[in-house]
Structure 1
Amino acid sequence: MSGEGNGGDGGVMGIVRTIVPDFIRKRFALKFLIVLLVMGVAIGAIGLLGTQQFSDHTRKQIESEYSGLAVQESNLVGRWIESNRLSTRLASGTPAYAGQDRSQMSEALSKQMAEVMPDSVSAMHLVQQTGGDYKFIASTASQTGNSLKGTKRSWFMGHEFGGTNQVAVSNVYRPSSSGSPIVGFVSPVNGTSNRYLLVEVGTTNIASNLQGADRASGGFTMVVNNNTGTIQIDEKSVDVSHDQSPDETLKQYGDRGALQAAMSLTDNVSGVISSRTDSDVMNEEYAVGYSQVVVPNNDHTWVVLVHAPADVLYGDVQQVTRFGMIATGGAILMMLLIGAVLGYNTSSSIDRLKGKAQEMEDGNLDVDIESGRIDSIGRLYDGFAEMRDALREQIDEAERARKEAEVSRAEAMEMSNYLQEKAEEYSAIMQAGARGDLTQRMEPEGENEAMDQIAKDFNEMLTELEMTTGQLKTFAVEVEESGQSVQQSAETVRDASEQVADSIQRISDDAYDQKERLQRISEEMDGVAGQLDDFADDNPGVDFGDALDSIREVARMIEEAADLAEDTMSESENVAGAAEEQAAELNEVSSRAEELVRYAQYLGDGLNNFETEEEHEFVFQTGAGGPGPAPDPDGDGGE
Structure 2
Amino acid sequence: MTGGGDETAASSQRDGVTERLRGLMPAVYTRNYAAKVAVALAVIAVILAAVGFVSYLQVQDRVVSDAAADLEASATYQASAIEQWRATTEADAVTIAAAQVYDTGTVAEIRQYLASAATAEASQGRSLHYVSTVEGTRTIVASTETAFEGQSPSAVEPAWESPLATAMDAADTGTVATSTPYADGDGASMAFVAPVSTGDGAIVLVVPVSSARFQDGRDGFETALLTEDGEPLIGEQTGSQPISQDGVEAATEGRTTTVETEGRVAAYTPVNGTSWVVMTGGETQSLYETNRAIRWGFVAVIGTAVLSLAVAGYLLGRHTIRPLLRLRDRTQAMEQGDLGVDLSTNRQDEFGRLYDSFGNMRDTLRSQIQQAQAAREEAERSSRELERQNERLDEFASTLSHDLRNPLTVARGHVELLGMQLSDPGADPDDLQTHIEKLEDAHDRIESIIDDVLTLTRKGASVEETAPVPLEVVVTEAWENIDNKHASIELDGSRTIEADRTRLLRALENLFRNAIDHVGPEVTVTVGLTDHGFYVADDGPGIPTEEVDDIFEYGHTTSEDGTGLGLSIVKTIAEAHGWRLYVDTTYPDGAMFVFADVFGDDEPDWYGTEFEWGSSSADD
Which of 202, 221, 239 is equivalent to 2:223? 221
Which of residues 304, 315, 332 is equivalent to 1:341? 315
Match of 2:180 in 1: 171
5+ residue gaps, structure 1, are: 1-5, 234-247, 278-284, 402-639
98, 103, 108: which one aligns with 2:108:
103
Kindly report which structure 2 residues correspond to 1:526-605, keeping only aligned pairs within 5 A, or say none: none
**Change over 3 Å in CA distance of 1:311–1:110 after alignment to 2:** same
Query: How many angstroms apart in 1 are the aligned matches of 2:58 and 2:108?
Result: 70
Q: Does 1:128 align with 2:132?
A: yes
Q: How does 1:453-492 map to 2 (within 5 A)?
A: none
1:288 aligns with 2:266: yes
Counterpart-to-counterpart distance in 1, 2:357 and 2:12: 21
Structure 1 residue 112, shift from structure 2 partner:
0.9
CA distance in 1, matches of 2:18, 2:118: 90
State the match for 2:207 in structure 1.
201
Q: Which moved more, 1:122-131 or 1:158-167?
A: 122-131
Is the CA contact 2:188–2:208 (under 8 Å) kept in the aligned structure 1? yes
Q: What's the offset of the Cα at 1:60?
A: 2.5
Q: Secondary structure at the match of 2:265?
A: strand
1:367 aligns with 2:373: no
Tell me the distance in 2 between the aligned counterparts of 1:36 and 1:269: 52
Deviations 1:91-133 (A, max 9, x none): 1112223457333322221111002x36214322222346775
Q: What is the deviation of 1:254?
A: 6.2
Whether the 8 Å CA contact 1:70–1:290 is kept in 2: the answer is yes
CA contact (8 A) 1:184 1:201 kept: yes
Corresponding residue number in structure 2 for 1:471: none
Name the CA distance, whole Å, in 1 between partners of 2:150 and 2:183. Answer: 20
Call closer, same or farther: CA 1:79–1:136 in 2, change over 3 Å.
same
Q: 1:380 to 1:174 in 2, by over 3 A?
A: same
2:160–2:179 contact (8 Å) kept in structure 1? no
Structure 2 distance, partners of 1:97, 1:203, is 28
Is 1:39–2:44 an aligned residue pair? yes
1:270–1:9 distance in 2 versus 1, CA, 3 Å: closer
The one-letter code sitting in structure 2 at the alignment partner of 1:365 is: G
CA distance in 2, matches of 1:91, 1:343: 91
CA separation of 1:349 and 1:102: change in aligned 2, threshold 3 A:
farther
**Residue 263 (structure 1) aligns with:** 249
- In structure 2, give the amino acid aligned to 1:263: E
What are the superposed Cα offsets for residues 194-215 of structure 1, whole Å, 9 maximum, x if unpaired? x2211111224x835742x42x
Aligned to 1:184: 191
* Equivalent position of 2:576 in the other structure: none
Match of 1:270, as an amino acid? T
Q: In structure 2, how many angstroms separate the alpha carbons of the residues matched to 1:198 and 1:11?
A: 95
Deviations 1:155-192 (A, max 9, x none): 424325351111122332213xx331122211111113
Q: Distance in 2 between matches of 1:169 and 1:122?
A: 15
Whether the 8 Å CA contact 2:195–2:203 is kept in 1: the answer is: yes
Q: If the length of structure 2 is used for normalisation, what is the TM-score? A: 0.51
CA distance in 2 between counterparts of 1:387 and 1:169 reads 104
| Distance verdict in 2 for CA 1:190–1:13, change over 3 Å | same
2:417 matched residue in structure 1: none
Preserved CA contact (<8 Å) 1:369 1:381: yes
How many angstroms apart in 2 are the aligned matches of 1:382 and 1:16?
A: 36
Amino acid at match of 2:300: I
1:18 paired to 2:20: no
For residues 18 and 183 of structure 1, the distance between their equivalents in structure 2, rounded to whole angstroms, comes to 85
Equivalent residues of 1:68, 1:270 under 8 A apart: no
Q: Deviations over 1:457-496 (max 9, x none)?
A: xxxxxxxxxxxxxxxxxxxxxxxxxxxxxxxxxxxxxxxx
Mapped partners of 1:382, 1:161: distance in 2 = 109
1:64 aligns with one of 48, 69, 72: 69
Give 1:598's aligned residue.
Answer: none
- Alignment partners' CA distance in 2, 1:50 and 1:356: 49
Residues 350 and 190 of structure 1, relative CA distance in 2, 3 Å threshold: same
Q: Of the two, which has the highest radius of gyration?
A: 1
Q: Could you say which residue in structure 2 is the equivalent of 1:560? A: none
Deviation for aligned residue 1:90: 0.7
1:384-423 residue pairs with structure 2 within 5 A? 384-393=358-367
Look up the equivalent residue of 1:255 and give its one-letter code: P
- 3-state SS of paired residue (1:29): helix
Change (3 A) 1:339 1:98: farther
Contact 2:251 2:277 in 1 (8 A): no
More strand by share: 2
Establish whether residue 331 from structure 1 lines up as the match of residue 331 from structure 2: no
Contact 2:102–2:199 (8 Å) recurs in 1: no
From the superposition, tell whether residues 228 and 344 of structure 1 become closer, same or farther in structure 2 (CA, over 3 Å): same
1:306 to 267, 280, 295: 280
Amino acid at match of 2:247: A
Partner Cα separation in structure 1 for residue 316 and residue 133 of structure 2: 94
Distance 2:38 2:12 in 1: 24
**Per-residue displacement from partner, 1:54-82 (whole Å, max 9, x unpaired)?**
33234333432332222111111111111
Task: Tell me if structure 2 keeps the 8 A contact 1:262–1:303.
Answer: yes
| Distance change >3 Å, CA 379–CA 95, structure 1 → 2 | farther
Which of 37, 56, 59 lines up with 1:54 in the alignment? 59
1:119 partner SS:
helix
Are the aligned partners of 1:189 and 1:196 in contact in 2 as well (CA < 8 Å)?
Answer: yes
1:158 aligns with 2:197: no
Tell me, in whole angstroms, the C-alpha distance in 1 between the residues paired with 2:137 and 2:298.
Answer: 69
Unpaired runs of 5+ residues, structure 2, are: 1-10, 375-620
Q: Structure 1 residue 228: deviation in Å?
A: 5.1
In structure 1, the residue matched to 2:82 is 77
Q: What code does the residue aligned with 2:288 have? A: Y
Tell me: CA distance 1:324–1:131, structure 2 relative to 1, closer, same or farther (3 Å): farther
Identity of matched residues, %:
21
How many matched pairs? 358
3-state SS, counterpart of residue 372 of structure 1: coil
TM-score normalised by structure 1 residue count = 0.50
Q: For CA contacts below 8 A with separation 6 or more, give which structure has more relative contact order.
A: 1
